[in-house]
Amino acid sequence: MVVLSHPPSSAAASGFGRMAQAMPFVDDPTVPLERRDIEAALWRSEARQALADGDARRALHAWNRVRRLQPRALDALFHLGCCFALMRRPGPARHVFATLARMDSAPDALRSRAARLAAMLQPAPH
């Protein structure tokens, strides 16, 4: 079994580090889906805590881990855009929101919200 790389240092303080190190690594194709869901839930929790702590970079890392575990998780994609926006990176944020707005698999409300956020992040005309 391959083990997770070390989670962010603040995660270890929350107890997440110990749990995550006991979980199989995301890229191991032999990991059952159920275990991936558990690991994704842990990373979601880490992302929310990071945002509560005001650490958008740590949240971005955690949401990326969720996306690797659950590529179809549209909430994780949306939150990635939010993290980029909080980090004052409007280009990547706009790209994520615009991508989400075009996804037929996304619920209408999410697509609409993503489209509005993408439009808000458009560069100002000169």
Domains in the chain: boundaries? 1-69, 72-126
Over residues 33-64, the pLDDT tens digits come to: 788 899 999 999 999 999 999 999 999 999 99
Cα separation values, 85 from 16, 39, 82, 91, 94, Å? 26, 26, 5, 9, 8
Instruction: Say if residues 62 and 70 touch (Cβ distance below 8 Å).
Output: no
Mean pLDDT by 10 residues, the chain (126 residues): 38 42 50 84 96 97 95 95 96 96 96 97 80
What pTM was estimated for this model as a whole?
Answer: 0.73
Residue in 20, 117, 36 with CA at minimum distance from that of residue 72: 36
Q: CA-based Rg of the chain, rounded to a whole angstrom?
A: 16
